[in-house]
Structure 1
Amino acid sequence: MNHTYAQLDTFYQNKIENYTLAVHQLKNKINFIALLRALFFIAWLYLLYQYFYTHQQALLWLSFLGLAGFLALISTHAHFNNKRQIFQNKLWLAKNEWNVLHENGNAFDDGSEFVLNEGYFVDLDIFGKHSLFHLLNRTTTWLGKQALYQHFRNPMLQKEKIEAYQSAIQTYSQQYALIEEWIASALLHKNESTEHITALEQWMKQYIPFKNRTYFNRIRFVLPAFSIIALFYTLDTGNYTLLSVCIVLNWLHVFFVGKHNGMAFANIGKQQEVLQTYSRLFKIFTHVPANNDAILQRTITISNEASKSISKLSFIANLIHQRSNLLATTLLNSLLMYDVHCAVLLNSWHNAHQSKLKGWLETIGEIEYLNSIALFAYNHPTFVYPGIKAEGLSITALNIGHPLLSAKQMVTNSFQFEEAGVLLVTGSNMSGKSTFLRTIGCNLLLAEMGAPVCAANFLFTPMYLFSCIRISDSLQENTSYFMAELQKLAYIKTQIATNYPALILIDEILRGTNSADKYEGSAEFILQLIQQPCIVLFATHDLKLNTLEESYPNDITSYCFESTIENNHLIFDYVLRRGIAQNKNATFLMKKMGII
């Protein structure tokens, strides 16, 4: 990154000041236009009133000008209102990013709906308050939130794919203005939800195209032409016969397409605003400079086609939505077969684009994902994009820290794990073992999402991630703490048989049994794990397990975190060391708190 945190602070402060001023100026403009609009309306009524009393043609023409001015000011007022809302949304985003920068919280959704009490999702705080999802999330649509969720659930494991995303994010993270424009525009319409997507997908799957398309495409112009001729004939002669025949024929066709398109009209007619939003968002992304990046180029190409095509569908959806005006559609169907025109347009669009809509919707989510990771990268200029090894099994880090910890609290560590094996991590209570495990897991997950990581340098082999850190019992499922832990360990053992290479994070297992049983079970499990192509970080208080290193020096290595007692105070440095922890603190803390 080519900026510092101080520059970021200034950048967002300037944004806040500029948008605050812009919103204030637009508010004054809108108030002035509202006053001017009222004056034009009064002038129109007054001139029309005077015309009826004086019958002066000049007054009639002036009243038309007054009406034209009034209508123009309605449009202008709507335009400036929309512009003000865009600036308000940009102001909201700038304030949010400034708050995030100063560790005051992120106003975007925290992903609580995705909270899963399984695997690394619960162990690494992936979803919910103060989660990794919440740290990254800048999505504004349901599609985007789902895409971010899926990337957390299924991180990438192919070197080429990760590098492609790294390249796209590095380029896109320099386009704050376009990301800001996307988010501000999406926030104009907050009613997009899973119901809208379901309705669109149902329409795509259930819609049955016309078998006699050519006939309806011709008759929708021929019959209305005869109907208009019949109308003038009726007005001229007073003979309703020809007009009545045309109206009956028109309604026969309307009833046919209504029967055929009833479900489609119901699904599409309510989607106009959401489709318009999608079209606008795609249009914004077409302005992103790709800089020869493959992912961005592909997404821009898709966005260009999708913007135009979905805009057409939005127009058709709006036509269908207008059918709710019974008086207007009754007249239009009687003379022009309005529903037939809607049905033919919808049928033509479906035939041309039915195979693409699902992909376009997925692209909306993918762009939202890029927005989230790009802003994350932009807001963390000291984070680095990892290097990736296609072969072997390794994780090497320089000054790695936990991305959810503030810079003031963070203590970084460096290490080099160059091959499969078990790393026994010992240390006293609160010395940093669990945080270290989560630090490695979170950064590996970020790396496999194409994001920069909280380190000065990071080199890794893409691998699956499994963990057993937090355990909770369940009264509803009649599961004890001990059984829940065993189930988690069994799941890991089963998964690594087919999903490898893997990083496995284990924190103090078998706490629910006696010390002898705990040692024996832990030792046997460790010996099972060293036979697999995995890197295992195994945190434990049981120093006896470190004796396994003597028998398996090529497979088991000991690391530790130490604590010291100085002047009756417990001190932690949270620094990872080679070797076995020597110091204890449980008895000291119990005495200090008066427990013993």
Structure 2
Amino acid sequence: MFGIAILGFFIAAISLPEDFYTWLTVACIALFLAFVRVHGKLSEKSSRARLEAHLIRLELLANGGDHSGFQSGHAYVDVKHPYSFDLDIFGDRSLFQMVSRSVTIDGARALADEFREPFTNPDEIKKRQEVTLELSGYPDLLLAMRVEGASYEEGAEDVSRLLDWFKLTDIIRNSFLLRVVIFLVPAITMALILASFLTEGLTPFFTIVIVFNWILLGIKSKQIKETAYYVAKGVSTIDKYEALLGELSKHKFRHPYLIAISEKAAIGLAAIQQLRKLAHLFESRSNGMVGPLMNTFFLFDLQCVLRLEQWRKENRDTLSAALETVTILDVYTSKAIYSFNHPEYIYPQISDHGASIRAIAMSHPLLPEYATGNDFSIGEQEQLFLLTGANMTGKSTFIRTVGVN
């Protein structure tokens, strides 16, 4: 039966018109491309789901006391700091490792700064508590921020290098002659290409254009490489900030501060999307075929540099604000995730009666949940607290508990 089916297929194929095979080929290619596109989307969803599962698994381990999957903050250890070294604020099994879920380098640094220099203004503290409490009610957003941040690499100097790029002098935008040349060369090249279909003997003109282009590119090679160093090398970081701004801008918040942050994120998102497209376009110059070919006929590198300079002029302040917005929300995300993981923990009430502490069942956050808490008060009536006890009975732990809380 199988042989009869094959024979029938060949007989039918021979009897079909030739155009049928052409359209069949086109249809098969289109179907193949559609399958490739679908496979790409499914693969992306699968990778995201695996990353989400990994991050959730880390949180479950952390709730069980294992924080080793998170950054320890070793870089911020300072033995000369008044209290951070004694209170184990940074390092393995530290407060920073327990709280930090930073997905940007600047966000981790800003969180570390808050641990080293806590806020003392009561109104600022209350505002931050309110913002953290609201964010802790958006677990999907918190997970999305973590996933987007973990999906892209960030070099240690990418952001600072990008900001340094804003300090450079424009090499093309400030030169009227260069702008004219960049406009005319592609036009002349296209005219020659079209004319070559109508007449012969244009090879000398092509040669002149090609030689001129490469001489000009050679003269400006230093500035082109400089722009590539500052922008193209930070493409992954630009992608990361675009993704994070996208998550922030599309979420609806209630707190006025978060609403303002979301509006800033939307403005920054539009600007950084343009930068991402330009950065990826400029990065394509490293392609062994595309770069040389496009430079030979269209001065591709200089075209990209000009567009980047124009973008820089129009979005200097916008980008700085966007980067700052991501850093601020990165810090809040860490605190909000910690609050979400520990709903039984309270937000302390700020006293207006001077320097005083009053706590009930206070315990160290790094100790297991079954640890016995202690009541403690000082500053209202008691000005001195005398702590005594035998060795290994928890005096140092109690002092650290007071200090950390």
Q: Percent identity?
A: 26
Structure-to-structure mapping, 1:197-276, within 5 angstroms: 197-208=159-170, 210-212=172-174, 216-217=178-179, 219-240=181-202, 241-251=204-214, 253-276=216-239
Greater shift, 356-365 or 127-136, is seen at 356-365
Higher RCO, 1 or 2 (CA under 8 Å, sep at least 6)?
Answer: 2
Residues 397 and 416, structure 1, Cα contact 8 Å, conserved in 2? no
1: CA distance, partners of 2:20 / 2:216: 47
Q: Confirm or deny that 1:162 pairs with 2:125.
A: yes
For 1:3, the equivalent position in structure 2 comes to none
Q: Secondary structure at the match of 2:388?
A: strand
Residues 126 and 132, structure 1, Cα contact 8 Å, conserved in 2? yes
For 2:346, the equivalent position in structure 1 comes to 384
| TM-aligned CA distance change 1:365 to 1:135, over 3 Å | same
For 1:397, the equivalent position in structure 2 comes to 359
Q: Confirm or deny that 1:305 pairs with 2:276.
A: no
Please state how far the C-alpha of 1:64 moved relative to its aligned partner. Answer: 2.2
Q: Confirm or deny that 1:83 pairs with 2:67.
A: no
Please state how far the C-alpha of 1:198 moved relative to its aligned partner. Answer: 3.9
Please state how far the C-alpha of 1:275 moved relative to its aligned partner. Answer: 0.8
For 1:568, the equivalent position in structure 2 comes to none
Query: Which runs of 5 or more structure 2 residues have no equivalent in the other structure?
Result: 1-12
Name which one, 1 or 2, has greater alpha-carbon Rg: 1
Q: Secondary structure at the match of 2:119?
A: coil
For 1:314, the equivalent position in structure 2 comes to 276
Structure 1: which amino acid aligns with 2:120?
A: L
TM-score by length of 1: 0.61
The match for 1:149 among 112, 116, 120 is 112
| TM-aligned CA distance change 1:105 to 1:265, over 3 Å | closer
Please state how far the C-alpha of 1:172 moved relative to its aligned partner. Answer: 0.6
Please state how far the C-alpha of 1:420 moved relative to its aligned partner. Answer: 8.7
Please state how far the C-alpha of 1:170 moved relative to its aligned partner. Answer: 0.9
Q: Secondary structure at the match of 1:423?
A: coil
Residues 258 and 339, structure 1, Cα contact 8 Å, conserved in 2? no
Partner deviation per Cα, 1:49-89 (whole Å, 9 max, x = no partner): x99xx992322232222222222322222221111111111
Structure 1: which amino acid aligns with 2:40?
A: A
Residues 361 and 372, structure 2, Cα contact 8 Å, conserved in 1? no
The match for 1:284 among 247, 269, 292 is 247
Partner deviation per Cα, 1:140-188 (whole Å, 9 max, x = no partner): 2322222221211221111121111111101111000011011112222
Greater shift, 196-205 or 242-251, is seen at 242-251
1: CA distance, partners of 2:165 / 2:290: 26
Q: Secondary structure at the match of 1:425?
A: coil
Partner deviation per Cα, 1:336-394 (whole Å, 9 max, x = no partner): 22122201111011112223434433332222211110011111112111121355222
Q: Confirm or deny that 1:412 pairs with 2:374.
A: yes
Query: Which runs of 5 or more structure 1 residues have no equivalent in the other structure?
Result: 1-49, 444-596
Q: Secondary structure at the match of 1:322?
A: helix
TM-score by length of 2: 0.88
| TM-aligned CA distance change 1:226 to 1:391, over 3 Å | farther
The match for 1:110 among 29, 53, 72 is 72
Give every structure 1 segment of 4 or more consecutive aligned residues whose post-TM-superposition deviation is greater than 6 Å. none
Structure 2: which amino acid aligns with 1:194?
A: A
Q: Confirm or deny that 1:344 pairs with 2:283.
A: no
Q: Secondary structure at the match of 2:83?
A: helix
Partner deviation per Cα, 1:501-557 (whole Å, 9 max, x = no partner): xxxxxxxxxxxxxxxxxxxxxxxxxxxxxxxxxxxxxxxxxxxxxxxxxxxxxxxxx
Q: Confirm or deny that 1:98 pairs with 2:47.
A: no
2: CA distance, partners of 1:217 / 1:64: 43
Please state how far the C-alpha of 1:93 moved relative to its aligned partner. Answer: 1.9
Residues 73 and 97, structure 2, Cα contact 8 Å, conserved in 1? yes
Structure-to-structure mapping, 1:450-529, within 5 angstroms: none
Structure with the higher fraction of residues in helix conformation: 2
| TM-aligned CA distance change 1:223 to 1:391, over 3 Å | farther
Indicate the RMSD between aligned Cα atoms, in angstroms.
Answer: 2.6
For 2:35, the equivalent position in structure 1 comes to 73
1: CA distance, partners of 2:178 / 2:17: 49
For 2:100, the equivalent position in structure 1 comes to 137
Residues 168 and 293, structure 1, Cα contact 8 Å, conserved in 2? no
2: CA distance, partners of 1:391 / 1:108: 38
2: CA distance, partners of 1:117 / 1:288: 41
Q: Secondary structure at the match of 1:398?
A: strand
| TM-aligned CA distance change 1:408 to 1:199, over 3 Å | same
2: CA distance, partners of 1:421 / 1:185: 49
For 1:120, the equivalent position in structure 2 comes to 83
Please state how far the C-alpha of 1:416 moved relative to its aligned partner. Answer: 4.4
Residues matched between the structures, number: 390
2: CA distance, partners of 1:87 / 1:218: 50
